Chains A and B, each alone.
Chain A
Amino acid sequence: AQSVTQLGSHVSVSEGALVLLRCNYSSSVPPYLFWYVQYPNQGLQLLLKYTSAATLVKGINGFEAEFKKSETSFHLTKPSAHMSDAAEYFCAVSDGSNYKLTFGKGTLLTVNP
């Protein structure tokens, strides 16, 4: 069985500051890992995914995440936050099937001017 833990339900940063959203997972099989973003009143949009290729994954809007097997982590980072990054971010793990996702509870990112 898979599970995802997102540390911190709410993260607040200043515009221009580093964004770090934490995700730890457990999986009985080599995982596929994902970060999704949800803007207000919208569905989920895929930011980036890890599918066993390079451990440092670059996504859209300047985000990237690093897969660390020894730490069972897949933290999301962005060097400089922008006001438009304010949204809820979800980490998810796949069970090895090519469609079933287990999501974390989400982290709400607030960006202060």
Chain B
Amino acid sequence: ETGVTQTPRHLVMGMTNKKSLKCEQHLGHNAMYWYKQSAKKPLELMFVYNFKEQTENNSVPSRFSPECPNSSHLFLHLHTLQPEDSALYLCASSPKIRTSEYNEQFFGPGTRLTVL
């Protein structure tokens, strides 16, 4: 595997289900991100992790719970979601943050989530 991978690619869940999205990066990066991409809306940054520590939470509802066990893996745990949470969830990674240089983000293919 190369780059950033995400599983599953598609997920359909009911509002009472609990599920998890997985992201893995094979680039040796230390920063990882979760984004939400909804139709007709700009990409929204949800969470940022740098060296496994959460550095950003953009007022995301608690029904979304991120986990970063190591610099290569990022999870998004989902529970009691609402239909408006249906979207494409993108994971990204970059070398690290809090340096003087801009560090390019590399994106995974996303998980298409549908909440019924």
Contact = CB atoms under 8 A, between A and B. Distances in A.
Contacts, number: 57
A44 interface: yes
Interface string A77-105: 00000000000001010100111111111
B72 interface: no
Q: Binding site of B, secondary structure by majority: helix, strand, loop or mixed?
A: loop
Contacts of A104: 42
A45 to B, nearest CB: 7
Interface in B19-78: 31, 33, 40-43, 45, 48, 56
B102 A49 contact: yes
A49 B94 CA distance: 15
Interface residues of B, number: 27
Given A44-B90, A104-B42, A99 B103 contact: yes
Interface residues of A, number: 25
Contact of A101 (B99, B100, B105): B105
B31 A43 contact: no
Given A32-B102, A43-B90, A51-B102, A97 B41 contact: no
25 contacts: A4-B42, A41-B9, A41-B109, A42-B109, A43-B107, A43-B109, A44-B43, A44-B90, A44-B92, A44-B107, A46-B105, A49-B102, A49-B104, A94-B102, A98-B97, A98-B102, A99-B31, A99-B48, A99-B94, A99-B102, A100-B45, A101-B43, A103-B42, A105-B41, A105-B42
Given A46-B105, A106-B42, 4 more contacts: A92-B43, A98-B100, A99-B97, A101-B105
